[in-house]
A and B are shown apart, each in its own frame.
Chain A
Amino acid sequence: MDARVFVYVAHEDGKADDSALELVTAARSMFPGSSPVALVAGSGIDAVCQETAASYGEVWKFDQAALAYPNAELLRPLLVKVLPTGAMLLLPHNTFGLDLGPGLSVKRGVTYVPDVVGVDGLEGTTLKIVRQEFAGQVSAHVHCAVAKGAVITVRSGAFRPAEGGPAAGQIVDRSADATGLSARRTFVELIQAEAGDIDITREDVLVSVGRGIGEKENIALVEDLAEAMGATVSCSRPIVDAKWLDRPRQVGTSGKTVKPKVYLALGISGSFQHLGGIKGNPFLLAINKNPKAPIFQAATVGVVADLMELLPVLTEKIRKSR
């Protein structure tokens, strides 16, 4: 099919998001031969448009003071207006894509294809993709009818970033289309996460605990191990949701991004949101009682074991080895 393909380029502080280059690769693998057009919206965005034009043949610029903050409720009517009939739009599957995408697909009357991690090809007007379900424990082949167009969100890291060549793309100023927008949701402010006493982003060795620890009382076993190792305790989201540890210790896309040399994942299933917060390719030791836990796909070394049994023995052995 001969559909026009668009990519929404998220940006912050005058720089395009990592997703901008990954979405080029995703767009080309979903729609072979397509030349995706980048959409850049914001206020004072010339630098982002220039940067984007290095990897996209065409960039549509929407520069308006009202778009200074990326409010999905404001951007949705703009995109409904400017996207041609039948167009495919790719977005990052992050908190912005979640906010904008589903409603946009309804308002455009097109198919919504969420959280794509792989592509099997395009056959006629059927887009064949791969998704994950049940917190990444199983994958699914999914067929999507995209004859009328689609809004597609793509998981971060699922596609390799395109090589940013000197594409010298053309920047088309469409700012005039972005006037008179209004929304029933208005942005007020951003509140940064509190720093707290500890800074896990600076630690070389992290002992991270997840839901598999079972009870709040068992956190002490993890603290004992970390102490014996001379390491710092961090955790996954459910531990913070349960208020067993404080938010500054949370690793993941909604918590801190860490760059340790050694990372222990104890009772952590390994959702992509958690793994997204671990950078720098550390030695990753995973201990989990579920042999199918996705964490074992990311780990360097894995042990299928009951934490209650293994942790006290491990802690004791480390203490004795000193």
Chain B
Amino acid sequence: MEILVCVKRVPDAAENEISVGAEGADIRRDDLVYSVNEWDNYAVEEAVQIVEREGGNVTIVSMGDGDAEEVVRREMAMGATQGLLLTDAAFDGSDGLGIATILAAAARKRQYDLILTGALADDGAGQVGGMLAALLDWPYASVVNKIETKDGKSLRIGREIEGGTQEISDIETPCVLSIQTGINEPRYVGIRGIRKVASIEIPVLDAGALGIDAATVGATAANVRRIDYFVPQLGASAEMIEGSTEEVAGKLVDLLKAKGGIR
């Protein structure tokens, strides 16, 4: 099976305090630790496991510059044979549809049986996979937490819906699936793994190479534009308890007793 996995380089929101920079134009990015979007890492692992089972190839694609290449290479080290980098100044400021348009152009360059994305990324929109499927006119499923290959023409998949219930469906290939965390246990990538893929050339494609009309992507084409970031003013927020560890612990014991938390 030929599988394309779309990945994004993002600030690690679990490891960083995200704060807003001057006048809200952007978040403060100086001290942020970047990594691959967590959901995408599960998508890559799933693709690699399918290919290990059934044969085929995994290609990692990302939109971005040299920093994104680092992420593509790290993900390739999990077991992908090819990488693709989509880079053009005309792509800057793309909204979800712009990004899906660029990825769709890359997907049309080769014949893939399956495209995986992460279910969500740092902006929480969860939109690119579904748009990509619609642009390619392929079937789609979101928040996928199980993939079983069936007969070469379809897959049996599980979606994680509310309450931890799993919705089982059959979906025809080629299709686009967005992957939920927890579907597998992504393998550890060491220095040696990254060294193994260090010599693989990662083609860089721009709008021209992808056959994209630059007017259909980027900031000018975007119907959805972020104006600024801000930290919401909160009405009621927590009463904060401060002091030494001893003092804080003492106050918490009193509070928990009063509220029935110690039984």
Contacts and interface: CB of A to CB of B under 8 A. Distances in A.
Interface of A: 71-73, 94-96, 98-99, 101-107, 111-115, 131-135, 137-146, 183-193, 204-205, 211, 228-231, 237-238, 240-241, 243, 247, 250, 253-257, 261-262, 264, 269, 283-286, 290-292, 296-305, 309-310, 313-314, 317-318, 321-322
Given A114-B96, A262-B259, A286 B140 contact: no
Given A106-B100, A135-B14, A302-B239, 8 more contacts: A99-B141, A99-B143, A102-B128, A133-B124, A184-B172, A230-B263, A314-B253, A318-B253
B118 interface: no
Contacts of B198: none
Interface stretch (B57-65, B72-80, B226-234): B226-234
A254 B119 contact: no
Interface in B214-263: 223-232, 234, 237-242, 245-246, 248-250, 252-253, 255-257, 259-263
Contacts of B135: 106
B97 interface: yes
B185 to A, nearest CB: 7
Contacts of A106: 97, 100, 130-131, 134-135
B226 to A, nearest CB: 5
A188 B170 contact: yes
B224 A139 contact: no
Nearest to A305: B248
B171 A184 contact: yes
Given A95-B160, A317-B253, A318-B256, A103 B231 contact: no
B23 interface: no
Most chain-A CB neighbours within 10 Å: which of B20, B169, B230? B169
A211 to B, nearest CB: 5
**Interface size band for B:** 35 or more
Contact of A254 (B97, B127, B160): B160
Given A73-B140, A102-B130, A144-B223, A261 B259 contact: yes
Interface of B: 11, 13-14, 17-20, 27, 96-97, 100, 119, 122-131, 133-135, 138-143, 156, 158-172, 175, 178, 181-182, 185, 223-232, 234, 237-242, 245-246, 248-250, 252-253, 255-257, 259-263
Given A299-B238, A313-B249, A140 B226 contact: yes
Contact of A144 (B224, B230, B234, B242): B224
Contacts of A303: 240-242, 248, 252
A250 B39 CA distance: 18
Given A303-B240, A313-B249, A103 B134 contact: yes
Contact of A184 (B14, B175, B257): B175
